[in-house]
Amino acid sequence: MKSLTITQPDDWHLHLRDGAALADVLPHTARTFARAIIMPNLKPPVTTVALASAYRQRILDAMDAAMRAGKLATGTRFEPLMTLYLTDNTSADEIAKARDSGFVHAVKYYPAGATTNSDAGVSSLERAFPALEAMEKHDLPLLIHGEVTDPRTDLFDRERLFVESQLQTIVSRFPGLRVVAEHITTREAAQFVEQARPGVAATITVHHLLYNRGAIFQGGIRPHFYCLPVLKREEHRLALVAAATSGSPKFFLGTDSAPHPRDLKEHACGCAGVFSAPAALELYAEVFDYEGKIYFLEGFSSHHGADFYRLPRNTAKVTLVKEAWTLPAEFSFGGGTVVPLRAGEQVGWRMA
Ligand code: DOR
Ligand code: ZN
C-alpha cells in the first residue's frame, strides 16, 4: 500500500509544556491530531479545575497565535482534553467539579518521585482511595504512570512490579473505574491489560514500539532515547508491537511526546523524555506497515481511544503516503532548541 486515508487521529497522552515552549511545540501536534489528552505535570502541577481551565485557555491562545504567525493553517482545529494531577489531598469535591467542567477528561496518577515533576504526586496508593472512589462514582478515568518508586528496585523492573503490586489492586478494588495504563513498556503490562476487565486500557508510545534499550547505548550514550518508563529489552518491544497491531480496542495511540531543551538532555544528569510529536503518526505508520498491519492503524490511532473516553470519533480524514523524507535535526523550543525522535534521519511515511 502506497497511501492510506484514515479518520483524523487523537493523541491520548501528550506533554505540551507551558509559556514560550508551549507555543513552539503545539503546532507539531495540532497539524496532525484533532485532540490530545494534556498531561498536568507542569510547575506547579495542574491540581485543580481552576488551574486546568487557565492552562486550557493558554493552549487555545497559543493555537490562535500559531495560526496568526503562519505556523499552522488558518482554521486548524485542536481540542485540548485536560487532566488533573492527583495528589494525596485531591478531594472528592474537586473530582465532582472536574466531571461537571466538561473539559477535564481524566485524572493522572504519578507515584511521587516516579518521573519529571512528580514530587507532588501520590505518596502511597491508599492516600488516593477517596479520590479514586469519587472518580469511580463520577465516571472520570484514571491515567496511571505505572512504576514503583522504591530506589532499591531495578529501574528496568519498576513497571512489572507496579503491575503486580498496585495496578491489580486499583482495577479490582474499584471495579467501575475506567483505567488507562499509560505508555506501557513491558510484556507483563500488555498481558495484564489484555486480560483485564472491560474499562481497562493502555496507551503505547511510538518510541517503545520502534526501539529497545539498546538504542540508549548504541555506540555511546544517547540521551535523546532516555525516557520514563525507560526502553526495555527486545522481547518487551515485540510484545508491545503485537498488542498495538492486534486490533484490540484496549490499546490506543499516546505519544508521550515530552520535549526538553537540548542542553538539559545532553547533560551530566539529562532529563527524561522523547520528543516524538513532529513525526508521530508517520512513525506509527512505519511500525504498522512493517508488521503488515497497516489496516489496523486507524483503529489504534483514531477509534479505540475516542471510544474508551466516550467521545465522538473525528469526522475529518488525513492521508499518509509511503514516501521517505528527512526530519530536521532540531526545532525551536522556548528560546532554545529541542531534538526530535529521528532527528536528521529518514521517516518512511509522510502526511499528504
Ligand atoms: O520520559 C518522560 N518524560 N516520562 C514521563 O513520565 C514524564 C515526561 C516528561 O514530562 O518529561
Ligand atoms: Zn507522559
Residue % of the chain over a pLDDT of 70: 100
pLDDT value for 262: 98
Q: For residue 287, give the CATH number of its domain.
A: 3.20.20.140
CA distance 38 to 106: 10
Q: How much is the average pLDDT of 51-67?
A: 98
The ligand 1 atom nearest the CA atom of 273: 1
pLDDT of residue 120: 92
- In angstroms, the CA 352 to CA 340 distance is 20
Has residue 116 got a pLDDT over 90?
no
pLDDT for 114: 87
CB-defined site of ligand 1, < 6 Å: 15, 41, 115-116, 145, 227-228, 258, 272-273
Tallying the residues shown for the chain, one arrives at 352
Q: Dump pLDDT digits (tens) for 123-166.
A: 999 999 999 999 999 999 999 999 999 999 999 999 999 999 99
Q: What is the pLDDT of residue 163?
A: 98
Residues 40-68: what's their mean pLDDT? 98
Tally the C-alpha atoms within 13 A of residue 128's C-alpha that lie toward its C-beta. 25
Task: With cut-offs at 50, 70 and 90, classify the pLDDT of residue 33.
Answer: very high
211 closest CA partner among 194, 192, 224, 193: 224
- Does residue 256 carry a catalytic annotation? yes
Ligand 1 atom nearest to 226, measured from its CA: 1
User: CA-CA distance, 85 to 119, in Å (whole number)?
Assistant: 11
- Average pLDDT in the chain: 97
| Ligand 1 atom with least separation from CA of 110 | 6
> Cell 495496578 identifies what position?
167
Cell numbers at 85, concatenated:
494531577
Contact status, residue 237 vs residue 212, Cβ threshold 8 Å: yes
Confidence of residue 115 (pLDDT cuts 50, 70, 90): confident
- Distance, CA of 209 to CA of 238 (rounded, Å): 8
Task: Round to whole Å and give the CA distance between 309 and 81.
Answer: 10
Separation CA 126–CA 57 (nearest Å): 33
| pLDDT band, residue 5 (cuts 50/70/90) | very high
Average pLDDT over every residue of 5-33: 98
Average pLDDT score over residue span 285-304? 98
Residue with cell 508517520: 282
3-state secondary structure of 89: coil
Q: CA-CA-CA-CA torsion for 66, 68, 71, 75, nearest 10 degrees?
A: 90
The mean pLDDT value for 315-327 works out to 98
Sheet with 200-204: list strands edge to edge: 11-14, 35-38, 79-85, 104-109, 142-144, 179-181, 200-204, 251-253
Ligand 1 pocket test: pick from 43, 86, 116 the residue with the most ligand atoms within 8 Å of its Cβ.
116
Report pTM. 0.98
Res. 271: pLDDT tops 90: yes
Q: Is the pLDDT of residue 1 over 80?
A: no
Grid cell at residue 247 = 486490533
Q: How confident is the model at residue 309 (pLDDT cuts 50, 70, 90)?
A: very high
Structural domain count, the chain = 1
93-128 per-residue burial string, b: 16 or more CB within 10 A, e: under 16: ebbbbbbebeebbbbbbbbeebbbbbebbbeeeeeb
> Out of 10, 11, 24, 256, which one is annotated catalytic?
256
Phi, psi at residue 345, to the nearest 5°?
Answer: -120, 170
Q: What is the mean pLDDT of residues 304-328?
A: 98
Domain span at residue 200 reads 3-351
Give, for ligand 1, the residue of 18, 227, 262 to mutate: max count of ligand atoms closer than 8 Å to Cβ.
Answer: 227
**Residue-level pLDDT at 146:** 98
Give the separation between CA 206 and CA 221, rounded to whole angstroms: 21
Q: Could you report the per-residue pLDDT of 245-261, keeping only the tens digit for each?
A: 999 999 999 999 999 99
Residues 182 and 202 sit within 8 Å (Cβ to Cβ) = yes
